[in-house]
Structure 1
Amino acid sequence: MKRLPNTQAASPEGAKGRDRRVALFGAMFLMATSAIGPGFITQTTTFTARLGAAFAFAILASILVDIAVQLNVWRVIGISGMRAQTLGNRVLPGAGYLLAVLVAFGGLVFNVGNIGGTALGLNALAGVDVKIGGALSALIAIAIFLSRRAGVAIDRIVVVLGVVMVALTLYVAIVSGPPVGEALRQTVLPDSVDFLAITTLIGGTVGGYITYAGAHRLIDAGVTGPENTRQITRGSVTGILVTGVMRVILFLAVLGVVAGGFHLAADSTNPAGDIFQAAAGQLGLRLFGIVLWAAAITSVIGASYTSVSFLASLSPWLDRYRSWITVGFILVSAAIFELLGKAPANLLILAGALNGLILPVGLAVILWVAARRRDLMGGYRYPVWLIGIGVLAWALTIYLGWNSLSGITVLWS
């Protein structure tokens, strides 16, 4: 999660040489860290414990949808140089405002889950009560947001802890000894298909604000226009590969623990922590707490910034006071978390499900621009095959969203 950049003007340095490469890497990393947050970790743990190797099919489905969505989102937004809400209003007056409200609402729910993720992290690290941990983390997020050097600090911390997270998860995957052969079989021939699980995973890794985090960063960096198509495509593919690898590693780590006979308690408030502790003991639990808290605190900042950047387009007044609105967004998220008193794991899962329902709306705008509005993309001739896989992904998200509507209530039962 980057230092909150000015969303109204692209950085002129970002369009040249080394600065451009650094900015493109920042966009890739922003997308990857947004997708690999506390919601993803908790969702994968919970559903793997429940579905076992059959959850491999959901992992595959989420990766395929991720590829189809991000290739289109990055290319359309990057080449046009316009943010999603601007494109929406150019396609159909008012559509961009609707998208802004939907993303901001989904971002608020997701941010409540992110606050819950910080609480789970501190609880795993030092046994801090979840409500105290959530409140403390919200204050820290605000302090980081108001710091003038927040961007530099966050970039370096997230990169280091991201590597630690991958390394620790890979270690757990190795020592837990997952049934890889069974997982491979059920990747293509699952014993059962859980539509809510698939929709939740898709929503938690590519839905809502996450869809646009990396692509909008391209605009701030000045990496836009048809002449940058190759860089834009390479950046989206690299980010997708990073998230895909992490999904598979975490799934195998959890599957190995579950296959070894460990049963996750139905009322567990920290399922991922319980799994890591079962695999690597107290040290694994503490290290997991550090990684989860770091992922969650940066997600709080990123979700707040991205959601408010959508809201800021609704009126000049909102844009003028965007910084304070972002602080307020964090405070409201924390207040909701403190008042609900619901298990943080449920909040994280619900956030992914809601964002999965929002995804088809924004993707429809992107695909319409790609197929019908070359004028918004500088006359760029969009690849037909890319539109084709985008339409297939859009149809799948519609179907999954419809099937998950009745299932969301189960999370609160």
Structure 2
Amino acid sequence: MKEPAGPELQRRLGTFDTVTIGLGSMIGAGIFVALPPAAAAAGTGLLISLAIAAFVAFCNAMSTARLAARYPQSGGAYVYGRERLGAFWGHAAGWSFVVGKTASCAAMALTVGYYVWPAHAAAIAVASVVALTAFGYTGIQKSALLTRIIVAVVLAVLALVVVIVLGFGDVERSRLVVADVSGTGILSAAGLLFFAFAGYARIATLGEEVRDPAKTIPRAVPVALGITLVVYALVATATLAQLGSARLASTDAPLAEAVREAGFAMLVPVVGAGAAIGALGALLALLLGVSRTALAMARDGHLPRALAAVHPRHRTPHRAELAVGIIVALLAAVVDVRGAIGFSSFAVLLYYAIANASALTLGSGRLLPAIGLASCLLLALTLPATAVIAGTAVVLIGMAGYGVQRTRRARG
């Protein structure tokens, strides 16, 4: 394997720091918007779906951690699939990531809109994308300090919602009783809730900066996921007990609605501000991540090579950032947030399926990758039909593009 060029990074991160970074990557705006479509699918089985989504995320994260130790390079499963399974599967993983996370960007932008100004959610979403794309273009990136601030704000808002609803709201235990739910509905909801755990694999990419990564990363992954699951479970329990599954499924701003129904309408703007801050932070990170994956794929010829350009002064992949920003802005203007979540979940589940398949080729420790692979495919196929159809069509377009590209290279 070719060693990465350049100086080595310092191993400064212990378990606590690694867990903190993992929490910063996971606890974000997804929980503010993913509950309604999941409740529509699972009904009162929402909490079961949440547990399934967390378990699948755990399997995926552990597989990714092993691969990241072997291939400490940018690109994630794009690199893992290419190195372990072949160029075709690497392209499939990279394409699935780019299109899935592009949809995630649109969902996060619309989340800002729904919590800031619901009547003009699309306009606010487009404005958010334009502003953050401009920031990224000039090289302004989210710092570690800003990440901690955003996580602190989001956690504070989530805690506020849980305390208000469970402490002072009109909650009913009967709304938490699992009844009249289907297995397919629970699995479909788990696939949608998988969206709220996006970012957990960030832990696995820290191999070059973690002290004793072989022990620290496998220890940090379940701790970070466990904390995230507890936080999400408390929030889901509170909103489900306050609103009921039918009411929860019909709102676009569930946490704000739960606080309003609990009799604290004056705090709705606080919840909205917290959701908007979390969504803006997640949107910035997603825009940066998608543009840089697009850069890597363009360098390898899997996307137009023009996107591989780096700005001579700002040292950013400016063409990739502009292309991603334009596409996300267009999506945010025309799609609904639930459709974006379903499509994103489908594509990202395929991405992690390839990561798990790659981990299976490493030899020992095949149980979790096997479970992760099967679970990713199962959850992807049980998502809402519109998400499966649209996701399959877009993935096939990417595969067709790869075939045309290979044919041209062979003739050239």
What range describes the TM-score normalised by the shorter chain of this pair? 0.7 to 0.9
Instruction: Check the 8 A contact 2:35/2:249 in 1, yes or no.
Output: no
1:254 alignment counterpart: 239
Quote how far apart the aligned CAs of 1:39 are: 3.4
- 1:333-377 deviation line (CA, Å, top 9, x unaligned): 122212x1x4334433443344334432232123323x2xxxxxx
Does 2:145 correspond to 1:166? no
Quote how far apart the aligned CAs of 1:296 are: 0.9
2:127 alignment counterpart: 136
Instruction: Check the 8 A contact 1:203/1:352 in 2, yes or no.
Output: yes
Match of 2:258 among 258, 262, 275: 275
Structure-to-structure mapping, 1:3-42, within 5 angstroms: 12-15=8-11, 19-21=12-14, 28-42=19-33
TM-score, normalised by the number of residues in structure 1? 0.77
Q: For 1:68 and 1:287, how far apart are their aligned partners in 2? A: 35
Instruction: Check the 8 A contact 1:89/1:97 in 2, yes or no.
Output: yes
SS at match of 1:20: coil
Q: For 2:297 and 2:141, how far apart are their aligned partners in 1? A: 28
2:331 alignment counterpart: 336
Quote how far apart the aligned CAs of 1:118 are: 1.5
SS at match of 2:193: helix
1:3 alignment counterpart: none
The alpha-carbon distance between structure 1 residues 272 and 327, as it changes in their structure 2 partners (threshold 3 A), is farther
SS at match of 2:35: helix
Q: For 1:191 and 1:44, how far apart are their aligned partners in 2? A: 16
Does 2:98 correspond to 1:104? yes
Instruction: Check the 8 A contact 1:78/1:232 in 2, yes or no.
Output: no
Does 2:374 correspond to 1:367? no
2:56 alignment counterpart: 65
Amino acid at match of 2:352: L
Q: For 2:13 and 2:282, how far apart are their aligned partners in 1? A: 24
- 1:181-210 deviation line (CA, Å, top 9, x unaligned): 984x74xx984331321222224424xxx3
Instruction: Check the 8 A contact 1:43/1:349 in 2, yes or no.
Output: no
SS at match of 1:404: coil
The alpha-carbon distance between structure 1 residues 114 and 305, as it changes in their structure 2 partners (threshold 3 A), is same
SS at match of 1:14: coil
Amino acid at match of 1:155: T
Instruction: Check the 8 A contact 1:117/1:296 in 2, yes or no.
Output: yes
Quote how far apart the aligned CAs of 1:108 are: 0.8
Instruction: Check the 8 A contact 1:104/1:307 in 2, yes or no.
Output: yes
Q: For 1:182 and 1:75, how far apart are their aligned partners in 2? A: 41
1:326 alignment counterpart: 321
1:75 alignment counterpart: 66
Match of 1:314 among 288, 297, 300: 297
Quote how far apart the aligned CAs of 1:245 are: 1.3
Tell me which stretches of 4 or more aligned residues in structure 1 moved more than 6 Å. Answer: 8-11
- 1:281-317 deviation line (CA, Å, top 9, x unaligned): 3233211111111111111122122223322222435
Moved more, 237-246 or 248-257: 237-246
Instruction: Check the 8 A contact 1:203/1:356 in 2, yes or no.
Output: no
The alpha-carbon distance between structure 1 residues 107 and 148, as it changes in their structure 2 partners (threshold 3 A), is closer
Quote how far apart the aligned CAs of 1:117 are: 1.3
Q: For 2:278 and 2:248, how far apart are their aligned partners in 1? A: 23
SS at match of 2:143: helix
Match of 1:223 among 210, 213, 238: 210
2:182 alignment counterpart: 192
Amino acid at match of 1:257: Q
Pairwise CA RMSD of aligned residues?
3.3
Instruction: Check the 8 A contact 2:171/2:241 in 1, yes or no.
Output: yes
Match of 2:371 among 392, 402, 405: 392
The alpha-carbon distance between structure 1 residues 278 and 69, as it changes in their structure 2 partners (threshold 3 A), is same
The alpha-carbon distance between structure 1 residues 61 and 165, as it changes in their structure 2 partners (threshold 3 A), is same
Instruction: Check the 8 A contact 2:29/2:196 in 1, yes or no.
Output: no
Q: For 2:6 and 2:166, how far apart are their aligned partners in 1? A: 44
Structure 2: unaligned runs, 5 residues or longer = 300-304, 311-315, 391-412
Amino acid at match of 1:120: Y
Instruction: Check the 8 A contact 2:27/2:151 in 1, yes or no.
Output: no
The alpha-carbon distance between structure 1 residues 343 and 314, as it changes in their structure 2 partners (threshold 3 A), is closer
Q: For 1:190 and 1:76, how far apart are their aligned partners in 2? A: 41
Instruction: Check the 8 A contact 1:204/1:356 in 2, yes or no.
Output: no
Does 2:298 correspond to 1:298? no
Match of 1:47 among 16, 38, 50: 38
Instruction: Check the 8 A contact 1:257/1:279 in 2, yes or no.
Output: yes
Instruction: Check the 8 A contact 2:18/2:210 in 1, yes or no.
Output: no
- 1:362-406 deviation line (CA, Å, top 9, x unaligned): 32123323x2xxxxxxxxxx5x3xx21331232122223223363
Q: For 2:203 and 2:6, how far apart are their aligned partners in 1? A: 14
2:83 alignment counterpart: 90
Amino acid at match of 1:368: T
Instruction: Check the 8 A contact 1:353/1:408 in 2, yes or no.
Output: yes
Amino acid at match of 2:203: G
Q: For 1:272 and 1:157, how far apart are their aligned partners in 2? A: 20
Match of 1:236 among 221, 243, 247: 221
Quote how far apart the aligned CAs of 1:257 are: 0.8
The alpha-carbon distance between structure 1 residues 234 and 213, as it changes in their structure 2 partners (threshold 3 A), is same
Q: For 1:211 and 1:272, how far apart are their aligned partners in 2? A: 23
Match of 2:269 among 282, 286, 302: 286
